[in-house]
Amino acid sequence: MFAFFLKKELSDRYLGNSSALIWVILQPVATLLTYYMVFGLIFDARIEGIPENAFITYLAIGLWPWMAFSESVLSSIDTIISRKDLLGKVKIDLRQIVVSGTTATFILHGIGYVVILLLLILFNRLEITYHLLLLILPLVILYVMAVALSLFLSALQVFYRDAKQIISSIMPLVFFCTPIIYSFSLIPERIQSYFLINPLVPIIEFIHHVAFNVKAIAWTQLSVIFLVSLALLYLSNMFFNKLAPRFDDFV
């Protein structure tokens, strides 16, 4: 059943709509170029420990995972409401519908991420090493975290319709509190501990450390975030199952 919903999600949202498929590719590229123009060219941003011309590489390898995470979470919030025709009529595990949407978004952005990495390697912007295979690990953790938030927020949206507006407002703050367009070392030491509350910080830092090999990889931090993500997934699943029997009364 999950495979059916995943195939339908990919077909309806992307493969069945040529403009949507193109936009999935162009939107991250346009965002990347916008941030590069503002921060890389106008503000002449530089990252400590990497070559001056490597800012666009630093930006690209962190931006794509963020786009996959944020888009999958935001697009999942209305899933139950948009599929209200299935409520109370047929016995379907609604979690599969939510997770299929999140998975479809990660698949498409994952393909784009691989293409970008290959282009960066082709134009000598990124050194090809076996360490790049480690990039799979933070992507898996981001996926688990996105699935957990998708289950929680899609269930919450049924009963509290302002959830999507609130999360949409919070996402830009989370983005700028994550070292995607700047180095974590630029954050004053007195407030670095507050930034580390953001679980995305160790994930993006891991990606940058793997790509540029300028610092030791923080395995402990990544392991902790992975365990936290699994715990969040477990709790979100319980929350979803608890509320699911009442969905058809509120949609």
Q: What is the pLDDT along the chain (251 residues), one digit of tens a residue?
A: 788 878 777 777 666 555 555 666 677 788 888 888 888 787 777 787 787 778 889 999 999 999 999 999 999 999 998 877 766 666 778 899 999 999 999 998 898 899 889 988 998 889 888 889 999 999 999 999 999 999 999 999 999 989 999 999 999 999 999 999 998 988 999 999 999 999 999 999 999 999 988 777 889 999 999 999 999 999 999 999 999 888 887 76
Helix, strand, or coil here: 128? coil
CA proximity to 72, closest of 132, 6, 118, 134: 6
Give the Cα separation of 214 and 116 in Å (integer). 21
What are the helix (H) ranges across the chain? 2-10, 18-35, 55-76, 79-82, 94-122, 136-159, 163-176, 189-195, 200-212, 219-243, 247-250
User: Domain tally for the chain?
Assistant: 1
Q: What is the pTM of this model?
A: 0.91
Give the Cα separation of 69 and 171 in Å (integer). 10
CA proximity to 211, closest of 125, 142, 143, 141: 125
Helix, strand, or coil here: 169? helix
Owning domain of residue 101: 2-250
The half-sphere exposure of 143 on its side-chain side, counting CA atoms within 13 A, is: 18
Name the amino acid, one letter, at 86: L
Contact 163, 153 (CB under 8 A): yes
